[in-house]
Amino acid sequence: MPLSTAPDYVDAILAICESERVGLIVPTIDDELERFGAAAGRLSRHGIRVAASPESTSRICRDKLATCSHLRAAGVRAAETVLAPDVPAAPRFPLFIKPRYGRGGVGAFPVRSPRELAFFSEYVETAVVQEYLEGPEFTIDVLCDFNHRPVAIVPRERVVVRAGVSDRGRTVGDSSLIALGEAVADVLPFTGAANVQCRVVDGTPCVFEINPRFSGGILLTIAAGADFPRYLVDLALGRPVPPRLGQFQTDLWMTSYETALFLEPNELGMRRTPPIVVGDVA
């Protein structure tokens, strides 16, 4: 395959789809979302459905400044966000700084003083600064059909987060979070899966980021009864998928963990080799 930035990338995808009789493409990598959104019409003419949001939606969501500005202009509560050079001379701390186009929590830091703000503004590439949102964090998994209508919305509390992915979480049947998912989908047309990240501040959810793709914690949403992949397959096959907003198991917990395997060489099909000794070892 050529790189997704190559001019013939979509041609290569189309050739594979035709030779392998692929009828549905589900992009999951941020770097490809805009490309597939732009190519959805062309692929659709070949009978291939693309579960990717419109190019304009993915472009806005990739830009954290544009995301919050777009939502706030439409009346959806979102974190106040500015470019690092545009922070007022006497800001109210704490603040939060992160890359404008970052992901996975890389380069994201709380800022508690003018000294930290000056340092991280230089340290973080193309930084944006947001108001600090104090409160529990949630991801709202949203699935929309090919006409951008919400089919399922499942809020999850992110209890323990590591490298931007929820290690421990639970589903939450909160009507205000479900309503927020609907409001965001009304302002930003989604196709397929999207996840809205927010914190609940003084009882009201406030968005700080959106990813128009499957979330890292989607396993919990599926286990709770909202089977996003199956819904997508049904939609691609033209089967009716009625809205299931709020229809999932609430307070279902998920805990992820790492494990280590200890194997002998023969278990791996490897030949045991003598150790290599360098120099005199007592």
Instruction: Tell me where in the chain the CATH 3.30.470.20 domain(s) lie.
Output: 134-253
CB 152 within 8 A of CB 245: yes
> Which helix or strand (DSSP H or E) is residue 15 part of?
helix 9-20
The pLDDT, as a whole number, for residue 174 is 96
What's the pLDDT at 258? 79
Place of tokens 């409160």: 135
Per-residue model confidence (pLDDT) at position 252 = 97
The beta strand positions in the chain, using DSSP E, are: 24-25, 49-50, 81-83, 95-99, 109-111, 127-131, 137-144, 150-162, 165-171, 192-201, 204-211, 253-255
- The fold of 80-131 is Dna Ligase; domain 1 (3.30.1490)
Q: Across the chain, what does the average pLDDT equal?
A: 93
Asked if CATH classification 3.40.50.20 holds for the domain at 9-58, the reply, yes or no, is yes
pLDDT bracket for residue 12 (50, 70, 90): very high
Whether the model pTM is above 0.85: yes
| The pLDDT value given to residue 264 | 84
Classify residue 141 by burial, with Cβ atoms within 10 Å: 0-12, 13-18, 19+: buried
What average pLDDT score do residues 168-190 get? 97
Listed in order, the ranges of the chain carrying CATH 3.40.50.20 are: 9-58
User: Residues spanned by CATH 3.30.1490.20 within the chain?
Assistant: 80-131
Pairing of strands 95-99, 127-131: antiparallel
How far apart are alpha carbons 45 and 77 in whole angstroms? 38
Side-by-side strand order, sheet with 109-111: 81-83, 127-131, 95-99, 109-111
The percent of residues above 70 in pLDDT, for the chain, comes to 94
- Write out pLDDT tens, residues 117-158: 999 999 999 999 999 999 999 999 999 999 999 999 999 999
Homologous superfamily of the 134-253 domain (CATH): ATP-grasp fold, B domain (3.30.470.20)
H runs (alpha helix) in 100-227:
114-123, 175-187, 218-223
Omega into 242 within 30° of 0, i.e. cis? no
For residue 162, the tally of other CB atoms under 10 A from its CB is: 11
Per-residue pLDDT averaged across 10-37, rounded?
96
- Are 86 and 122 within 8 A, CB to CB? no
pLDDT at 54 over 80: yes
Range 70-93 burial, b when 16+ CB lie within 10 A, else e:
bbeeeebebbebbebeebeeeeee
Q: Tens of pLDDT along 225-272?
A: 999 999 999 999 999 999 999 899 999 999 988 788 888 887 777 666
Tell me if 243 sits within 8 A of 151, measured CB to CB: yes
Mean pLDDT of 270-278: 60
